[in-house]
Structure 1
């Protein structure tokens, strides 16, 4: 099955790439999650539009990524969550929650797909979360979860 990616997919490609995948993978995962659209000659015209949107959003150079990393290192964001008496959260903190908290605190605009949470955040306290800013630059932001 030939598809055009609309979102970055690990070990497959970035938005705007034309990829050949097995039918089941494309039909059951990539298309329903809106990570890709079916390839056609008409859809191929959308590739330029997808690539322009990606270029506008992403950090273009390593120097820009270094500047954003320095901004993030100084940030400590608080996220108010509902928790039980033992300090366990009702649910978990998601990458979208972290991006929103950084934005509200006056930090740089991030993409939720760039947030790397190694272990789900399900307890109150301070946690360090990785942020992939560029191919070779990774930053960290401190996330403190407090009871609401």
Structure 2
């Protein structure tokens, strides 16, 4: 029997794949649990429409991420905080602090989980921070920490 998978099934395929499986496996496991639907002409047409719509949405998201990356490449963010002797900070600058500063100073909203910091910033100075905007689109901003 040929079925269209609605979600990933280990050993069978990924969501959206049209696969040929044993009749019993399809009737007793995949279809009743909602993992797959039978591959009729109508279902295949609707799957193609869904894939087209997903491709359009992905293209829009990629374009928006590229535009945001171009804006962020020009951005220089300054964070003012208290420091002690030798330029050591009281506490540290985390990805949340950087995301808040980017939003405040540039107006561009960035998810704190997308900011790549190897370690929290604990000294005064200038740092280059990478922000992952999309699968393969990254932007690097300059963060200056002063007191």
TM-score, length-scaled by structure 2: 0.57
Q: Who is 1:20 aligned against?
A: none
Q: Secondary structure at the match of 1:109?
A: coil
Measured in 1, the distance between the counterparts of 2:119 and 2:103 equals: 22
Give 1:108 shift: 1.1
Unpaired runs of at least 5, structure 1 = 1-16, 18-58
Give 1:130 shift: 0.8
RMSD: 1.8
CA gap of 1:60–1:91, structure 2 versus 1, over 3 A, is farther
After superposition, give the CA deviation of every residue in 1:12-65 in whole Å (9 maximum; x if it has no partner).
xxxxx9xxxxxxxxxxxxxxxxxxxxxxxxxxxxxxxxxxxxxxxxx9522111
Give 1:120 shift: 2.3
Q: Who is 1:89 aligned against?
A: 89
Q: Who is 2:76 aligned against?
A: 76
After superposition, give the CA deviation of every residue in 1:72-94 in whole Å (9 maximum; x if it has no partner).
11111110111112101111101
Q: Does the aligned pair in 2 maintain the 1:91–1:122 contact within 8 Å?
A: yes
Number of equivalenced pairs: 90
For residues 11-90 of structure 1, the aligned pairs below 5 Å read 61-90=61-90
Q: Secondary structure at the match of 2:85?
A: coil
CA gap of 1:110–1:136, structure 2 versus 1, over 3 A, is same
For residues 104-119 of structure 1, the aligned pairs below 5 Å read 104-119=104-119
Unpaired runs of at least 5, structure 2 = 1-6, 8-58
Measured in 2, the distance between the counterparts of 1:96 and 1:60 equals: 27
